[in-house]
Amino acid sequence: MISGRFGDELTSSGDFPWMREKAHDEVEFRLERLRQLSSLYAGDSRFPSTTLISPEAQGTDFFEDGMTLDRCIARTSPDPERNWEVLLPGGLRTLVGHFADLARLLAVLNEEGIPILALSPQAVVLGHGGGLLLRADRVSPDLAENIDELASRIAPEILLSTRIPPIDECQIVYALAALIHECALGRPPWAGRGATEVADRILSGVSIVDRTDIVLDPPGLLGLLRDSLSLDPQGRPASLRGFASMLDAVRDGARPRAQRRTSEVGSGTKQRRWQQLGAVASLLLFAGFIGRFSAHEPILEDLVEELSVAMLVRPLPVHAEDAPVDPLGRTLLELHGESASALHRATRVQRELAWVALRAGKLQQARRAARFAVQTDPIRPGPWVILGIAALEQGDRAGSIELERGLSLAPLDLFDRWSIAAGQFYLLRFDDAATTLATIIENTPGDADAWFHHALALLRSGDHLGASNSLARSRQIRPLDGWIDWLSAEIALTEGREGEVRRILEEATARFSASKALALRAGSLWDRLGDAPRSREWIRWADSDRSESPHREWRHGDRIVEQGRSLLLVGPPVPPE
């Protein structure tokens, strides 16, 4: 039923004019086509094999391969952010990655003539083996029969229109974003008992994601949901594949936002737009002349905040260990590298960009950004540390001079302190790093990464009891974290508790699989436990992007030394264990 917003009398949802435009035969044809695609696409290379279409229903709520999202939402809704950690290793962060794969699947279906304009939680299954499965029997292209059920999950321009609007990919983005919203916050963005109530709330209310008291982890999810659930279609991501890339970036810790689309209507609009552009250009020229761009400060702050995530990628680089490259660094560089590189005089942007480039494996770009930062502010330690690490990673021993210079300078802010800790880690000065990290913890006691690295520095300094205490604080802040599991296992191995090490490795298998750096360390642990087959299996996965695995030595204090990466004689010359 639809309310008096569309007239004084209550009207049956089946009487909407746009609903009568869909012929029953067309709906049946599309359903049959969807059944065909469900079996055809099981191994399609255009989307990951973990995201499948279920050809048939295998039960009402539970499937052999997983559980429908409505049951997951019912179990997690009291506290979704915490309770998803119980259902899924990595919690919401992992789920966001699964939704990115589902977005790519919906893009393929849309290209095949099956636009999914509404997604109920009963139509999607969380697989036991990871990924989301789409139930063909619950994905109907016909909205008329279930308008009351689907009203909160279809784009507002469809619900509120008196005729069927042209299908736009951003409407499918809205449907998927509404489902993500329900998983992350426990209810749809516009909840109501039927289409009438939902329509009324859309026209008169404020959605949940627009409230200022909502906080989500990963931190970039809330902003992307605000864009994707915009009542204005021009404010949403334009394509499903673009939305999928944004979800990947959110999973990796970035904060992507949709670019507003524009459409030109009428020559008068064009003329006004050119007049506005002319006025803006004049103002920018004047601002450039006087050397002030104060209006850009909020933009720069957002850019610095998004780039800063790369600093806390774990673990901090250590000389001769595996290369300090992480997928998050590549994602951030792809999203912001071009725009950040153009801001040569923005010192804070350049030093954050240097860390991003370092963690993306773009060492020359890292040195270039660090040089720009040094030129404008030479007394800060951060850029000098990055210059030194990047040079040493390139095989230039002279980088130790730049690194030592950075460590000799006094830190002026949190970035500088983290940079000094990173430089001390890189040179294996773990006692000094523990001291620096203790200072960081005094200023940011709720930082799980600071406690983690403090525990790692203490362990490598020989203080396994202190390491246990710091790691416990990190776990309180961030439970079910694979890196914390790994360090717990290293501490247990140091203390001779091999049974505990095996238990951790068995229980945290999924979390270790999420990162190749973690997989390498899991392989090291299994090797030191004497289980060579399992060790080879993990190391093979860690090196899957390489043509061959390099020779490695497992050193005291959980250190790894790779062949050809030890340029400096740092630390005690401990032989392989």
Write out the chain's pLDDT in tens, 577 residues: 233 323 333 333 344 444 444 444 555 665 566 666 655 655 554 444 444 455 444 444 444 457 889 888 888 877 787 778 777 877 888 899 999 989 988 888 888 778 888 888 988 988 766 678 887 767 765 566 667 777 888 888 888 776 666 888 999 999 999 999 999 988 888 776 677 777 777 776 656 656 655 667 788 898 899 899 888 888 899 899 999 989 988 888 888 877 766 544 444 444 444 344 444 433 333 334 333 333 344 457 777 777 776 676 777 888 888 888 888 888 888 888 888 888 878 888 999 999 999 988 999 999 999 999 998 889 999 999 999 999 998 888 888 899 999 999 999 999 999 999 999 999 999 999 999 999 999 999 999 999 999 999 999 999 999 999 999 999 998 887 889 999 999 999 999 999 999 999 998 888 888 788 889 999 999 999 999 999 999 999 888 878 777 878 877 666 788 877 776 655 444 433 3
Structural tokens at position 375: 């030129």
In a domain? residue 344? yes
Q: What is the DSSP string of 120-145?
A: -GGGEEEETTSSEEEEGGG--S--ST
**Domain total for the chain?**
3
Say yes or no: 242 and 307 in one domain. Answer: no
Say yes or no: 350 and 407 in one domain. Answer: yes
459, 428 Cβ separation under 8 angstroms: no
Instruction: Check which CATH number belongs to the domain holding 38 and give it.
Output: 1.10.510.10
Which residue, of 427, 443, 471, is where some domain finishes?
A: 427
Shortest CA distance to 520 belongs to which of 459, 562, 576, 460?
Answer: 562
Please, which residues bridge with residue 548 across strands? none
Per DSSP, helices labelled H in 394-530 are 399-408, 414-426, 430-443, 448-460, 464-477, 482-494, 498-507, 509-513, 516-528
Say yes or no: 38 and 129 in one domain. Answer: yes
Q: Measured between alpha carbons, how far is 471 from 52 in angstroms, rounded to an integer?
A: 38
- Cα dihedral: 475, 320, 254, 87 (round 10): -40
CA angle, 198 then 203 then 206, to 5°: 85
In a domain? residue 167? yes
Kind and range of the H or E run holding 106: helix 91-111
Per DSSP, helices labelled H in 312-413 are 327-341, 347-359, 363-376, 381-393, 399-408
Say yes or no: 360 and 242 in one domain. Answer: no
Say yes or no: 229 and 106 in one domain. Answer: yes
Domain range for 418 is 294-427
Q: Measured between alpha carbons, how far is 180 from 118 in angstroms, rounded to an integer?
A: 12
Q: Measured between alpha carbons, how far is 25 from 13 in angstroms, rounded to an integer?
A: 20
Per DSSP, helices labelled H in 478-515 are 482-494, 498-507, 509-513
In a domain? residue 369? yes
Q: First vs last Cα of the chain: how many Å apart?
A: 73
Say yes or no: 213 and 344 in one domain. Answer: no
Say yes or no: 237 and 300 in one domain. Answer: no
Based on its alpha-carbon atoms, the radius of gyration of the chain, rounded to whole angstroms, reads: 27
Which residue, of 363, 392, 427, is where some domain finishes?
A: 427
Burial of residue 181, with CB atoms counted within 10 A of its CB: 0-12 exposed, 13-18 middle, 19 or more buried: buried
244, 100 Cβ separation under 8 angstroms: yes
In a domain? residue 358? yes
Structural tokens at position 60: 């009402």
Burial of residue 115, with CB atoms counted within 10 A of its CB: 0-12 exposed, 13-18 middle, 19 or more buried: middle
Which residue, of 427, 444, 460, is where some domain finishes?
A: 427
Q: Measured between alpha carbons, how far is 373 from 406 in angstroms, rounded to an integer?
A: 13
Three-state SS at 343: coil
In a domain? residue 442? no
Q: What phi and psi, each to the nearest 5 degrees, are found at residue 243?
A: -65, -40
Q: Measured between alpha carbons, how far is 230 from 207 in angstroms, rounded to an integer?
A: 10
196, 10 Cβ separation under 8 angstroms: yes
Say yes or no: 69 and 204 in one domain. Answer: yes
Please, which residues bridge with residue 134 across strands? 53, 124
Q: What is the DSSP letter of 560?
A: E
In a domain? residue 438? no
pLDDT at 261: 62
In a domain? residue 473? no
pLDDT at 478: 84
Say yes or no: 140 and 33 in one domain. Answer: yes
Instruction: Check which CATH number belongs to the domain holding 388 and give it.
Output: 1.25.40.10
Shortest CA distance to 241 belongs to which of 146, 102, 336, 382?
Answer: 102
Q: Measured between alpha carbons, how far is 179 from 117 in angstroms, rounded to an integer?
A: 12
pTM for this predicted structure? 0.55
Say yes or no: 96 and 239 in one domain. Answer: yes
In a domain? residue 35? yes
Residues making up the chain, counted from first to last: 577
7, 17 Cβ separation under 8 angstroms: no
Say yes or no: 53 and 167 in one domain. Answer: yes
pLDDT at 572: 45
